[in-house]
A and B are shown apart, each in its own frame.
Chain A
Amino acid sequence: MERNDLPSAKDITFYQQNGYWLSPKLFDDKELEVFRNHHAAVVAGQYETKRPPLNREPDAGDVSRLVQINNAYWTDATIARLVLHPTIGKIAARLAGVKGIRLWHDQLLYKPPQSGKAGNIGWHQDRGYWLWLDNENALTAWVALDDVDEENGCMEVVPGSHRWGLLGEDHFYQQDIEQQTKRIEEKTGQPFKTQPCVLPAGCVSFHHCLTVHGSRANVSDRPRISIAIHLIPDGTRYKADAVSEDHTNNTLRQPNDGDTYAGPYFPVLFREDDPNANIWMSVKS
């Protein structure tokens, strides 16, 4: 299960300068087919483990608009195997320059074919939703389970925007992204140029928690099938004084100021000093 497609020093420099990095293919076609089947089951509300996800939008069965399911890995062992994949953890650790990576939460995504504006995901920075984290090293691994391109509404990032600081533009469900673009340009005084993350199935894009990103409508007849895996460095702590809407993850731990986000609700994907921390390391696909 372990792979050697780790980012080189050049790749790490690219990530540091641009706030994102696209991996080579990490999963083969056979694995992808299994992942897609389980993805479809979870979208349909069939939870293999009998444990529901943390939350989902909209309800099971409704695929008329973007489906977003948080902590889908609770519902399905195969999805857990993907979300907690040690290679993803190892790559994330290298890019973030940390010794260990934990899951913050996952987000199973389904963008329906011909979605119209309902498939738009407004420009946002993940950090805007995660102000309780005591560091800005969190990042997201976005796994393409099928070919993803501009036609079916791939994710787009603004290279270098992770150095703009926090913009207060946290509009995941904003559908008028053209108006948002103008506002961000006025705010930053920088040209707003996006880079589409075109990914063949099995590739993964990694982006910094301050990188501005979003996506446009799916104008194809193919659904966009993916999973976003939000990751934090091992040892990340809860910062109580953050002024922001509460995050559902805090209901899992009910942390106090200074508490670490640790324990089984924030499982380890990779830890340099403990190769056995992630059980999936030793399990064959």
Chain B
Amino acid sequence: MRLTWLDWSLVLLYILAVVGAGLISRRRVKSISDFLVAGRQIRYHLGVATLVATELGLVTMMYFAEQGYRFGIAAFIIGIIWAAAYYTIGSTGFIVDRIRQLDIVTITEYFEVRFSRGVRVLGAILIIIAGVLSLGVFLKLGAVFLIHFMNIPETYHHITLTLVVSIVILYTMAGGMISIVLTDYVQFVVLAFAMVFTTIFVLAQFGYMDFFSRISEMYATQGLDPLHHEEYGWSFIGYWTVFAISGCVLWQPVTQRIFAAQSPEVNRFIFKSTSMMFLARAFFPIVWGVGAALYFGTGSDAVAGMPMFLTAILPVGMLGLFGASMFAAMMSTDAGYIHAWSTIIVQDLINPLRGGILSDAQRLLWTRISILGIGLLMLFFGIWYQLKDTAFRYLLDVTTIYYAGGLAVLVGGLYWKRATTVGAYAAFACGALLPLAAVVEDIVLQTQGSTLTGYFAQLFSPNIRGLLSFAFGFGGLIIGSLVSTQKVLQRT
């Protein structure tokens, strides 16, 4: 273990500061709007900070580092496309301008306004499935980081997971969106410093110029070339482009910030500014991952590679700063995500199913109960589920369950008058078909103790499966809408 008293002090100080901020902000929660969308008062720079910080979690660092470790600098294509998607949305206002004008809290609320309550509930169910399935990996990767970075014994794995979830749940339940936004800002600053300085240390380890020549030595030319890489290539670029656009407009932790922004203009600014930071958030951890692979000379155990590498090369003090910022990244993102999914559960599932009669106090209570429930599910999934591919691929698969139909329903709803409720149902059902089948089959196989890859997972390559899912989503919407008529076209 290389962490010294100085490093530990930095980590502990940070945890205390974050928990303190969460508790203080609790006093400011006066209404359900404060808890869910911070009173819709988020302005320019805080908006950028909170969006970047939430999308810059420990899980992001870990899966980008894993991609770098396994596939070389070619993995940077993920960041480039993601940044382009954010910039395009920010420049054009595509979708986000229209949805910000509606006084809603979740995208699924729009599905009810435009289509029907049933479509909203179906959308909510799919996003909750996608969200909770992805959260299991958040916890798993967080624990891998802590265990290897702090050299926690393997036997304490479950205890570590439980402790992490407990801290995150307490923190989220205490202050809701206000505490998340507040600590996001602090995290954004600390993290930015830590990421830049860590990268300097990583490049210095190999020599700035040697770094890239080493990559081609170890990964061959495809380590620098995403177009001809087995993992990426054109099919990935196609899939990931549609996926990234969906992420901007459908992913509740992101859209929650759209709804929290003061105006559509603020939204556009946030998206455009964030796009550049999305390049950085991919580049830095990918460099760390590549550095780890070069350092260890191996492609195995990719998830553990980055934390073990940084523990070996970072100097005293820098280790503490890095550890603290990563812990903060984990807290902020996990809390932000748990908060986002619990909001959906209450707003789009419990409240509509109970006839929309829940009072603010009841909604607040149900949101907190949901936070606890999600935390427990996270813990169960984090301990029990074993990843068969990279964490990034898994997250892509589970999120496509919702995105594939969701994008079609949202775009169709906003821009195609002919879109109908039947079309929306068909879009969700068709879009979710392939990824849901692959994920459910895998869970069933694992419950039976099998480590085999399932039939649906092998039916198509992951990129083609993703592309087909989006095509099925849009196909479902078009065909479903053409064969039916909408009695009430628009209720707003």
List CB contacts (< 8 Å) of B288-312 with chain A.
292-301, 304-305, 308-309
Residues A74 and B154 in contact in the complex (CB < 8 Å), given A50-B205, A264-B309, A265-B308:
no
User: What's the Cα separation between A273 and B452 when bound, in Å?
Assistant: 8
Complex contacts, A268 vs chain B, CB 8 Å: 298, 300-301
- Whether B299 contacts A278 by the Cβ 8 Å rule is yes
Q: How far is the CA of A258 from the CA of B70 in the complex (A)?
A: 28
Does the CB pair A278–B298 fall under 8 Å?
Answer: yes
Q: With a CB–CB cut-off of 8 A, which chain A residues contact B355?
A: none
Question: Which A residue sits closest to B452, measured CB to CB?
Answer: A273
A 242-285 to B, binary, CB cutoff 8 A, 1 in contact else 0: 00000000000011111110111101100101001111111110
By a beta-carbon cutoff of 8 Å, the part of chain A in contact with chain B is 49-51, 73-74, 77, 80-81, 83-84, 102, 254-260, 262-265, 267-268, 271, 273, 276-284
Once the chains are docked, how many angstroms separate the CA of A192 from the CA of B117? Answer: 85
Asked if B214 is at the interface of the complex by the 8 Å CB criterion, the answer is yes
Q: Assuming A50-B205, A264-B292, is B154 touching A255 (CB within 8 A)? A: yes
Cα–Cα distance between A73 and B298 once the two chains are bound (Å)? 10
B437-471 toward A: CB 8 Å interface, digit per residue (1/0)? 00000000000000100000000000000000000
Q: Is the CB of A84 within 8 A of B298?
A: yes
Listed residue (B293, B297, B301) with the most chain A CB atoms within 10 angstroms of its CB: B297
Distance in angstroms from A282 CB to nearest chain B CB is: 7
A sample of 20 cross-chain residue pairs with beta-carbon separation below 8 angstroms, ordered by A number, consists of A50-B206, A74-B296, A77-B294, A80-B298, A83-B297, A254-B1, A255-B153, A257-B155, A258-B155, A259-B154, A262-B304, A264-B300, A264-B301, A265-B308, A267-B300, A267-B301, A268-B298, A279-B293, A280-B299, A281-B299
Could you tell me the distance between the alpha carbons of A284 and B220 in the complex, rounded to whole angstroms?
A: 7
- Asked if B402 CB lies within 8 Å of chain A CBs, one says no
Q: How far is the CA of A260 from the CA of B296 in the complex (A)?
A: 18
CA separation between A187 and B379, bound complex, in Å? 55
Q: How far is the CB of B412 from chain A (nearest CB, A)?
A: 39
Shortest C-beta distance, A85 to chain B (Å), equals 12
| Given pairs A255-B154, A259-B155, A279-B300, 7 additional interface contacts (CB within 8 A) | A77-B218, A255-B153, A259-B153, A262-B301, A264-B301, A264-B304, A267-B298
Q: B403 on the interface (CB 8 Å rule)?
A: no
User: Does B154 lie within 8 Å of A260, measured CB to CB?
Assistant: yes
Identify A264's interface contact among B70, B153, B308, CB under 8 A.
B308
| B219 close to chain A: CB less than 8 A | yes
Does B281 lie at the interface of the complex (its beta carbon under 8 Å from any beta carbon of A)?
no
B351 in the interface (beta carbon within 8 A): no
Give B336 Cβ to nearest chain A Cβ, in Å: 30
Q: What's the Cα separation between A71 and B218 when bound, in Å?
A: 18
Q: What residues of A have a CB within 8 angstroms of the CB of B219 in the complex?
A: 279, 282-283
> Residues 168-210 of chain B: 1 if any A CB is under 8 Å from the residue's CB, otherwise 0?
0000000000000000000000000000000000000111000
| B300 nearest CB neighbor, chain A only | A268
Inter-chain CA distance A50–B298, complex, in Å, is: 17
Q: How far is B206's CA from A282's CA once the two chains are assembled, in angstroms?
A: 23
Q: How many angstroms from the CA of A277 to the CA of B300 in the assembled complex?
A: 5
Within the complex, the shortest CB–CB distance from A37 to chain B, in Å, comes to 15
Contacts of B217 in A (CB 8 A): 77
- Given A77-B214, A77-B218, decide whether A279 and B298 contact each other with a Cβ distance below 8 A: yes
Q: Is B166 close to A, CB under 8 A?
A: no
Kindly provide the distance from the CB of B461 to the nearest chain A CB, expressed in whole angstroms: 14
Question: Which chain B residues lie closer than 8 Å to A281 at the CB level?
Answer: 299
B257 interfacial contact with A, CB 8 Å: no
Set B205, B218, B308: member contacting A283, Cβ < 8 A = B218
0/1 string, B412-433, CB within 8 A of A gives 1 = 0000000000000000000000
| Interchain nearest-CB distance for B363 vs A (Å) | 45
Residue in chain B with minimal CB distance to A99: B451
Q: Is the CB of A256 within 8 A of B300?
A: no
Please report the C-alpha to C-alpha distance between residue A281 and residue B220 in the assembled complex, in whole angstroms: 11
C-alpha gap A105/B182 in the complex (Å): 48
Q: Do A256 and B153 touch across chains, with their CB atoms under 8 A apart?
A: yes
A278, B297: Cβ atoms closer than 8 Å: no
A278 x B308 contact (CB < 8 A) = no
Q: Please pick, from B154, B206, B308, the residue contacting A49 in the complex, using a CB distance under 8 A.
A: B206
Q: How far is the CA of A107 from the CA of B207 in the complex (A)?
A: 27
**Does B151 belong to the interface (CB within 8 Å)?**
yes
Which residue on chain B has the smallest CB distance to residue A79? Answer: B297
B114 interfacial contact with A, CB 8 Å: no
Q: Which residues of B contact A262 (CB under 8 A)?
A: 301, 304
Q: Contact: B294 with A263, CB < 8 Å?
A: no
Min Cβ gap A91→B in Å is 18
Taking CB atoms, residues of chain B closer than 8 Å to A283 are: 218-220
Q: Tell yes or no: B148 within 8 A of A by CB.
A: yes
List CB contacts (< 8 Å) of B155-174 with chain A.
Answer: 155
Contacts of A77 in B (CB 8 A): 214, 217-218, 294, 297
List the A side residues contacting B300 at CB < 8 Å: 102, 264, 267-268, 271, 277-279
Which one of B70, B153, B206 contacts A276 once the chains associate, using CB atoms below 8 Å? B70
Cα A77 to Cα B216 in complex, Å, equals: 11
Of B154, B207, B217, B300, which is in contact with the most chain A CB atoms at under 10 Å from its CB? B300
* Complex partner residue of A256 from B1, B155, B295, CB under 8 angstroms: B155
Please indicate the chain B residues that have their CB under 8 angstroms from the CB of A50 in the complex. 205-207
Nearest to A277 among chain B residues (CB) is B300
* Residue from the set A80, A256, A263, A276 with the largest chain B CB neighbour count within 10 Å: A263
What's the Cα separation between A226 and B300 when bound, in Å?
Answer: 25
For the complex, what is the distance from the CA of A279 to the CA of B289, rounded to whole Å? 13
User: Of all chain A residues, which has the CB nearest B312?
Assistant: A51
| List of B residues within 8 angstroms of A279 by Cβ | 70, 218-219, 293, 298-300
Q: Are B305 and A264 in contact (CB under 8 A)?
A: yes
- Residues 129-151 of chain B: 1 if any A CB is under 8 Å from the residue's CB, otherwise 0? 00000000000000000001001
Q: Complex Cα distance A284/B293, Å?
A: 17
Nearest Cβ in chain A — how far from B233, in angstroms?
14
Contact A73–B301 (Cβ < 8 Å): no
- Which residues does chain A contribute within 8 Å of B295, judged by CB atoms? 49, 51, 74
Q: Lowest 9 CB-CB distances: which A-B pairs, in order? A: A279-B299, A80-B297, A267-B298, A268-B300, A264-B296, A256-B153, A259-B154, A277-B300, A263-B304
Which residues from chain A contact B154 at a C-beta distance below 8 Å?
A: 255-256, 258-260
- A213–B207 Cα distance when bound, in Å, is 42
Complex CA distance for A187 and B296, rounded to whole angstroms: 42
By a CB distance below 8 angstroms, the chain A residues around B70 are 276, 279
